[in-house]
Structure 1
Amino acid sequence: MALAFGTVSTAVGGVQAQGSPSADLPADVAAATIAPLKDYDREIVDQFDSANSVSHIRHLAVDIGPRLNGTPQEREGAEYIGGILKSYGFDVTIQSWGPVSTKNVAKVTSPNADLPGGPNWQMAASTSAKFTGNDAVVEGQVVYAKTGQSAADFPDDVAGKIVLMDYNATASVRNTAVVNAVSRGAVAVILAYPTGNSAPPSFTLTTAQPNIPVMGGGSAHYTWITDLLAKGPLTLRITTNQYVNPMGTNVIGVRHAVGDPTGTAAPIVMVGAHIDSVLGAPGAHDDASGNGVSLEIARVLSQYPLDKELRIGGFGGEEGGLLGAKAYVNTLTAAEKARFVGEWQMDMVGTPYEPARLWALTPNGQSNFVVQEAYNAAARAGFDGLRNCRLGQSDHQAFYDVGIPSSLFIWLDYRPPTPPAVCGPTGGTYVTEPQYHKPTDTMDNISPERLQITLDVVGGAVVHNALNAVTVSAISDAGQPLAGTPVRADCGNGLRDLGTTGADGRLQAVLPHATCDFTTTVEGRVATERGVSIAGDRAVKMTVDFTKPTISLTTPTDGAVFTLGTAATAAYRCDDNLSGVVTCTGTVPDGSLLDTSTVGFHEFTVKAADNAGNAADQKATYQVVYPWHAYFPEMMDGKAGSAVPIKFSLGGDHGTAVIASGYPVSRPVTCDSGKPTGSAESTSGPGNSKLSYGGGQYNYVWKTDRGWSNTCRQFELKLDDGSSHFTTIRLK
């Protein structure tokens, strides 16, 4: 992080299909039998692994080492980041910009010792001494000569050795020390702070030393060297270089949106960190940590098809005044700037320094879109330690200055004004960890746990905004919002829970570029929107059908009568008021013959069910009767006490058990109106015959009673088909 000060506008801002066990199951069945996947926010964030970030940090801080702006190491860092991004499918550009100020640096390694914080130390090369270049390596054993002010400070054998001496703030004292070392045959001199916690000093000498390199070391270098000397001989290799007005380096990785391969229209989501470190510092925390997190975000998101353009920025020259970020922002067109959703800048995002906390800092101290999205991601991750306040001093300032929503995310012991803790134009104060801008900013200054929190919070915000924002609305078929309803989506790899709708019946979700089926279940009713194309932000409406299907039963109607053996065809249909998808099942299929093979009453049922879970049924009872023909009139005359033959045909011989149980009966009626005047009586008494069949007809002999003279009597013959037949006799 650099020390500089610097205004905010807001902007608004998947998985390839795979086979799954639920692919051939109805949505409601699959939902009930297969554990759903997580929503995309959680799925993607759960893949972040700070161990991968640590690996990148180690390469930058240890394998490359200090990455001072304008030096080859800064460019090597950019090329490493670019190579990783290329492996993730990003288009990578290495940008050169500048020139920047001249850099005088020494690279120190050892052939026989593991250098603490190494293996590549960086010190300040004095301009009063020799610049060896990379090809003229100076190698020698190290000896310690205290202040170097007298012969007593030096060991007996200095010739051909590299001499370590105490750095002194007084120029004449330094000059004397170096002159004394050179006079004794030293091949190189290191002046290092013997106490405190200091970075390597840059200095000139009164007496130029054109034949040997002279370097300034930090207090950590002094301690490390003296500790190694206490264990035995130490050999160092030294090269010194002067990079005159070199160029700075940025690396920019771009992953174009699915529908915008040339990068001209899609919204842009950007993550940034700075590559460079200060002189002498490996920069593990400041700011290899930011790049480590950026690369892990890039790795995970590269697995998903996105409709947003994802950019990963590694900026050089941050420590020199945000130079690389400003140079990059100056390349953006007005149209490009307008496409930015936001820029999440990470600088020092993983120190174990205990007073440090995670902050989102903006140049004006106010929250903005980027800050709020980080708060939202923190809430999703269950982290309540994020705070925001005011600070420029890092590359977010360059984006802020051109109206792009941006914020610096940093683990820092930041102290806002109290009371109360309100941020604004005055901001607050902060204390950095002891390793800040020192050679001790090594891997020991990295906390995997805090890197993981940063991934969850900053990475979670980037993920949420890189995906498509989808609003799912659940309403009833009566137009009412349905609150608290679960929403699931299958985008080709199985059902996943998106959450539940709010009081307004809506759910906000994020999804990659995909084609998805959306499902919700309310009171056993299932609503599904199939084949929804998710390409950019969009809305999805699901209407839950509570209306039962309707059934139109034409044949048979309730109470219909059919003659035995008649060819009657069933006719019915079912309709669903919403989806048009309904199963319709009758006792026999529509258009098939009804059962008229047996006499009596038959029940016909039609059942309907729609794909929302609504069901209906309708019943009709129809009667099948014999083909009846009577051989007696409806009114006849007779003599009381005589026998009356009742003859009829039923279209054939159906046996003699065709009369219903308890029949025939007779009852007294009025002769003029036929109205009953008494109860029915069985005709099974003496003189009545059993039913017989012969000659194509049935015959039953009814014996009248002498006591019925001068009355009228109604005879009722009820058959086992449920039909009743009558005749009335006037008796004399």
Structure 2
Amino acid sequence: MMPTAAHAAPYAPQDAIEAIETGTFLPSFELEFANKVSDANAYEHVRHLAVDIGPRVTGTAGEDAGLAYVQSVLDSYGMETRNETFRVGVSSFAMATSDRELPAGPNWQFGVASNAVFTGPDAPVTAGVVDVGNGADTTGFDLAGKFVLVDWVSSAAARNVLITALRGENPAGIIFTATADNASIPRLSSVPAAAQDILMMAAGTVQGERIRQVLESGPLELSITTDKSRDTGSNVIGVQKAAGDTDGTAPIIYIGAHIDSVIGSPGASDNGSGNGIMLEAARIFSEYSLNTEIRFGSWGGEEGGIRGSSHHANQLTADEIERSIGAWNTDMTGTSHVGTDERPFGFWGLSVNPDNADNAVLNFASATSVQAGYGDFNRGYVGRSDHQSFHDVGIPAAVFSWMYWSEADSIVLEPAYHKPSDTMEFISQERLGIGAEIIGASAFRAAMNTVDITVADEAGDPASGARVAMSCGADEGWRDAGVTTDEGTTSVLTPNTDCTFVALASNRANAFTVGEISGDTSIELALVLDTAAPVVGIATDIDPAVTGWFTDKPVTASVSATDDTDEAPVTEFSVNGGEWAPYTAPFALGDDGIYVVDTRATDGAGNVGAASEIVQIDTLAPELEVLTEGATRGNFTVRFYDETSGVERVEYRLPGGKWTGLGEDGTAEGGVWGTISQQLELDDEAVTVEFRAHDVAGNVSALATLEIGAVASTPGVSPDRETGQLAVTGANLPWLAGSIAMLLLAGGAIFTIRRNREGKLVADA
């Protein structure tokens, strides 16, 4: 959020002050990263590697497929990817597929005898499977052209006797299966000469159990190839370049996981889980601009002696090593195994040895674990995973795993470790999420810029205890940036972005500044204490009459607000108690009436100045009429009417005379409407009497005249009552007929109905 003109320097935006005072903050960038973790995303990556691809032995098509998948995902996140190759030992293996759905995935892998037939990848042998149990009695079994499933015999001599006997039945191949509980694939190093022309394979316990499970529901046919791996393995590296790093001097962070698995293992936990977490972290990293280079590595050859990561680490220049903050290695980070009461599983970070147990990587992870609500972080030490490759060249490194560790036992891993039972059945989506939060967010913490903030009080001295907040980039709110120390300082972590920083002291002195955060940055804030309210005024484009009323319209009102500190206080206005509206330009008051204009201005410190003005507009002149009645000469009644300000006085004038007020003391009572009756002393000559009315605003009515004839010189007959003459000025008054009737009904008395200034009807006799 950037400050607007309404909050020009040096004030903090009001919503920032409210956020600080209420403690309503967005999460820190570190927790924001952790909150973005999707354990479902990580789980799907693991599932694809373990089920859709399956075993990923170094130098095989399985590893190639796994690396291609990782590379495609990193490419989709905008990483710059490349491949590395290195030399490895050769492995022998068998790959099995079926026309039936196989438990734990479509691709099974067995061990093979080193001196038996190798078909190569393109010449599979397809045959049905026959289970002969321990092979002691094969009577009644048709084994010719079939794959024979038989229990493992640990004695080489006894095993060779059994192989020779089974070979006499002309099978397509023999599959020995381990029978001990959850046993690994047994080592079938060589076979007798008689069996060297058929496929000779070995399976782990769970694989044999699965074959027998499938056979219970019907025949099973397998297509099997036997092959040897290449003598080269591969790595995939994905790089998120540091923002603004034109000369290649930015700090470096590594996040890596080995892609390969052991023969026969789908490698769900070891180490599909590590790649799933790495890829989910890469997704979130790609959403931020950082001044640190992030390198994601999917390492081959780990199971054969950390070959891939060692190859990469040993190619680094001295400068790259110097710039490397640390290496986060994620290995076996998704098992659901809970351990035992004596050896409960937890999430651990392990350095290579006790001497570097306090390294930077583990310190970052410990801080994140506490920040994310997972408490104190478990620390230990062990080698033999890819973190050691980086440690050995001088880069701080740690491996992260769900396991048990103690100095006495070192590491204790899950039962499926390095076995065909390492499948999705034993993967915890929740634990994948926890691992991704701690690993990803701690690496993100290390990659961010440190912003050192210094706050000075109104006198320029260090401001202790000032609360600081920041809003960066597209933030829709404020983040907590800490409380200043006695030295007036605090610090916070941000990615590469623009931020607004705000400080607020206990006396409400505040300040803000805007800064571009690129690399480690220093920010200074100077508090301002403002207790003076803005001065507010209301002006009109024309002046009122001396009466205080405006007799021309429209009247345009404008509002001014000045403040000694705030160049642009927020100004609002309200008319006649209506809702407050922002004042942006002069406004017109166009109709006759009385307007109460209120205005207020609020400066950046929250001080409020106010003003109020009454604007009275009356542009219409009064209306009046004169009525004579009765036999008495010079007796008349004046009726007057004014819509807005009311009649202030009514006057009459005889020829050659002065204007004289009617009513008591020469003035008339004001109001919206009313009447005045009076008797003029006249001589016998004919006369014209003029009348006029003034309203309170100063408007004067048109003249009304009353013609009074001369007194007759010869006596005549007069009616009992003289019909009166009527003189009218202005529009026909709607209440005229009723008023005349009321006067006539009163007989000889003068009966007046009027509305007083308070708007009430009154009657006067």
- TM (norm. structure 1) is 0.69
**One-letter code of the match for 2:179?**
P
Give the match for residue 367 of structure 2.
376
Q: Give the Cα–Cα distance (whole angstroms) in 2 for the partners of residues 462 and 333 of structure 1.
A: 22
Q: Residue 43 of structure 1 aligns with which residue? A: 32
Aligned position for 1:279: 263
One-letter amino acid of the structure 1 residue matched with residue 298 of structure 2? G
Matched, 1:392 2:376: no
- Note the C-alpha offset of 1:481: 2.4
**Equivalent of residue 409 in structure 1, options 400, 406, 429:** 400
Please name the residue that 1:429 is paired with: 410
Q: Secondary structure at the match of 1:313?
A: strand
- 1:101 pairs, out of 89, 99, 120, with 89
- Structure 1 range deviating more: 40-49 or 518-527: 518-527
The residue type equivalent to 2:279 in the other structure is: L
Q: 1:373 to 1:290 in 2, by over 3 A?
A: same
CA contact (8 A) 2:463 2:484 kept: no
Alpha carbons of structure 1 residues 154 and 502: separation in structure 2 relative to 1, 3 Å:
farther
Offset, 1:165: 0.8
Report how far residue 520 of structure 1 moved: 2.6
The letter of the residue matching 2:141 is D
In the alignment, the residues of structure 2 paired with residue 485 and residue 450 of structure 1 have an alpha-carbon distance, to the nearest angstrom, of 36
Distance 1:507 1:491, change over 3 A: farther
The aligned amino acid for 2:111 is: A
CA distance in structure 2 between the partners assigned to 1:187 and 1:141 by the alignment: 9
Match of 2:496 in 1: 513
CA contact (8 A) 1:92 1:253 kept: yes
- Report the equivalent of 1:721: none
Equivalent residue runs for 1:187-586 within 5 Å: 187-202=172-187, 203-207=189-193, 209-243=195-229, 246-260=231-245, 264-355=248-339, 356-365=345-354, 366-384=357-375, 386-417=377-408, 428-478=409-459, 479-483=461-465, 485-504=467-486, 505-523=488-506, 525=508, 527-546=510-529, 576=565
* 1:36 Cα offset (Å): 5.1
Say if 2:533 and 2:608, in contact at 8 Å, map to a contact too.
no
**How far off is 1:311 after superposition?**
0.8
In structure 2, the CA distance between the partners of 1:467 and 1:127, relative to structure 1 (3 Å rule), is same
CA deviation profile, 1:414-470 (whole Å, cap 9, x unmatched) = 1235xxxxxxxxxx5232211111000101121111111112211110111222222
Residue 147 of structure 1 contacts residue 153 of structure 1 at CA under 8 Å; is this kept in 2? no
Matched, 1:70 2:59: yes
The residue number in structure 1 matching 2:590 is none
- The 1:496–1:39 alpha-carbon spacing in structure 2 relative to 1, beyond 3 Å, is farther
Q: Which amino acid aligns with 1:30?
A: D
Amino acid at match of 1:393: R
Partner SS, residue 310 of structure 2: helix
Aligned length: 539
Distance (whole Å) between structure 1 residues aligned to residue 242 and residue 93 of structure 2: 42
Structure 1 residues 261, 302: CA separation in 2 closer, same or farther (over 3 Å shift)? farther
> What CA distance in whole angstroms lies between the structure 2 residues aligned with 1:199 and 1:279?
10
CA offsets 1:33-78 (integer angstroms, 9 cap, x no match):
8975333222221110111111111111111111112222122211
Deviation at 1:109, TM superposition (A): 1.6
Question: What secondary structure, in the 3-state scheme, does the structure 2 residue paired with 1:533 have?
Answer: strand
User: For 1:554-585, what per-residue CA distance to the aligned partner results, in whole angstroms no more than 9, with x for missing partners?
Assistant: xxxxxxxxxxxxxxxxxx99765xxx857699
The equivalent residue for 1:173 is 158
CA contact under 8 A between 1:90 and 1:253: conserved in structure 2?
yes
* Aligned 8 A contact 1:192 1:222 in 2: yes
Letter in 2 for 1:140: A
Q: Deviations over 1:455-495 (max 9, x none)?
A: 22111101112222222233312213231514132423333
CA distance in 1 between counterparts of 2:303 and 2:534 reads 78
In structure 1, runs of 5+ residues without a counterpart are: 1-19, 418-427, 553-571, 586-606, 618-732
After superposition, the Cα gap between the structure-2 partners of 1:383 and 1:573, relative to the gap in structure 1 and judged at 3 Å, is: closer
Q: CA deviation at 1:611?
A: 4.1
Q: Residues 622-672 of structure 1, C-alpha deviation per residue, up to 9 Å, x if partnerless?
A: xxxxxxxxxxxxxxxxxxxxxxxxxxxxxxxxxxxxxxxxxxxxxxxxxxx
Letter in 1 for 2:243: V
Conservation of the 8 A alpha-carbon contact between 1:268 and 1:342 = yes
For residues 493 and 610 of structure 1, the distance between their equivalents in structure 2, rounded to whole angstroms, comes to 24
Q: Deviations over 1:163-185 (max 9, x none)?
A: 10111122232223333333222
Q: Distance in 2 between matches of 1:68 and 1:416?
A: 31
Deviations, residues 76-105 of structure 1 (Å, cap 9, x unaligned): 21111111000000011111111x111101
Which residue of 2 is the match for residue 691 of structure 1? none
Please give the alpha-carbon distance, in whole angstroms, between the structure 2 residues aligned to 1:251 and 1:89: 14
Q: Which deviates more, 490-499 or 71-80?
A: 490-499
Q: CA RMSD in A?
A: 2.9
Query: Which residue pairs with 2:583 in the alignment?
Result: none
The answer as to whether partners of 1:525 and 1:546 remain within 8 angstroms in 2 is yes
The percent identity for this pair of structures is 35
**2:275 aligned counterpart, secondary structure:** helix
> Structure 2: 5+ residue runs without aligned partners?
340-344, 536-560, 572-599, 611-765
1:415–1:430: 8 Å Cα contact kept in structure 2?
Answer: yes
Residue 543 of structure 1: how far off its partner (Å)? 1.7
Secondary structure, aligned partner of 2:395: coil
Are the aligned partners of 1:474 and 1:543 in contact in 2 as well (CA < 8 Å)? yes
Deviates more, 1:514-523 or 1:394-403: 514-523
Q: CA deviation at 1:530?
A: 3.7
In 2, Cα distance between equivalents of 1:501 and 1:482:
8
Could you tell me how far apart the structure 2 residues matched to 1:583 and 1:234 are?
A: 83
Counterpart of 1:322, as a letter, is I
- Tell me how far 1:348 sits from its aligned partner: 0.8
Q: AA paired with 2:16?
A: A
Write the distance in 2 (CA, Å) between the matches of 1:330 and 1:102.
22
Contact 1:351–1:446 (CA under 8 A) maintained in structure 2: yes
Query: How far, CA to CA, are the matches of 1:241 and 1:516 in structure 2?
Result: 59
What residue identity is the alignment partner of 2:386? D
Q: CA deviation at 1:502?
A: 4.4
Change (3 A) 1:322 1:218: same
* 1:533–1:404 distance in 2 versus 1, CA, 3 Å: same
Amino acid at match of 1:31: A
SS of the aligned residue for 2:193 comes to: coil
Q: Taking structure 1 as reference, are residues 545 and 188 closer, same or farther at Cα in structure 2, changes over 3 Å only?
A: same
**Separation of aligned partners in 1, 2:81 and 2:384:** 27
Instruction: Name the structure 1 match of 2:715.
Output: none
User: Are residue 138 (structure 1) and residue 125 (structure 2) matched?
Assistant: yes
Q: Say which of 166, 169, 182 aligns to 1:184.
A: 169
Shift in alpha-carbon separation, 1:237–1:21, aligned structure 2, 3 A = farther
TM-score, length-scaled by structure 2? 0.66
In 2: Cα distance, 1:56 partner to 1:23 partner: 45
Distance 1:90 1:491 in 2: 22
Select 1:116's aligned residue among 103, 111, 123. Answer: 103
Task: Give, in angstroms, the shift of residue 612 of structure 1.
Answer: 4.8
